[in-house]
């Protein structure tokens, strides 16, 4: 049996903080560079992703989350902003392997193969909302916790051995 197109592994050690407000102020408060539109900027273990013109997502190691929520709330105090821990609302999968782009291309209406590094694409995969960006050797996909089983299942289905998208 041939190899699967990619290995699908759940990621459970990430914290995520949704931040709404002025993006420059948010980046300041997070001590990170502000991401470009639809960008994701990584600095060490933390990434700050552009989610919409007034929303960013801070992704960080899970144990650092409560402290970061507190610090951000404090830093943004007095400004019109919203800080919310959304770590538990998420399901995260890494799609790693030579056929990772094919797996994404089967589920999301995006040109996965052409997706640049440092770009976060919010879209849908089959019937659920996701955000996708490139990581070493493939892609990271975040979806919602309640549909985590579904997301894992469709990713594994799409990665079935011998089903690469290259013309045959």
- Helix 148-158 × helix 100-107 angle, to 10°: 120
Q: Does 30 bind other proteins (CB under 8 A)?
A: no
Judged by CB under 8 A, does residue 22 bind other proteins? no
Tell me the closest approach of the beta carbon of residue 144 to other proteins, in angstroms. 5
- Which is nearer to other proteins, 39 or 96 (by Cβ)? 39
Number of shown-chain residues binding other proteins (CB under 8 A): 58
102 binds other proteins (CB under 8 A): yes
Tell me which stretch binds other proteins (CB under 8 A): 41-49, 78-86, 92-100, 134-142.
Answer: 78-86
Residues that bind other proteins (CB under 8 A): 1, 18, 20-21, 37-38, 50-55, 80-82, 84-90, 102, 105-106, 108-112, 114, 121-124, 126-129, 144-151, 153-154, 157-158, 160-163, 165, 167-168
């Amino acid at each position: 049996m041939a190899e699967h197109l990619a290995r699908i592994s759940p990621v459970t050690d990430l914290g995520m903080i949704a931040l709404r407000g002025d993006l420059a102020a948010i980046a300041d408060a997070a001590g990170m560079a502000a991401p470009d539109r639809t960008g994701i900027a990584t600095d060490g273990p933390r990434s700050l992703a552009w989610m919409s013109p007034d929303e960013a997502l801070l992704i960080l190691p899970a144990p650092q989350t409560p402290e970061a929520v507190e610090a951000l709330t404090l830093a943004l105090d007095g400004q019109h902003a919203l800080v919310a821990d959304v770590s538990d609302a998420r399901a995260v999968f890494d799609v790693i392997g030579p056929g990772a782009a094919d797996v994404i291309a089967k589920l999301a209406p995006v040109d996965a193969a052409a997706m640049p590094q440092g770009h976060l694409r919010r879209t849908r995969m089959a019937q659920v909302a996701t955000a996708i960006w490139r990581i070493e050797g493939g892609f990271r996909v975040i979806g919602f916790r309640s549909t985590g089983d579904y997301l894992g299942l469709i990713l594994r289905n799409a990665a079935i051995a011998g089903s690469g998208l290259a013309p045959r």
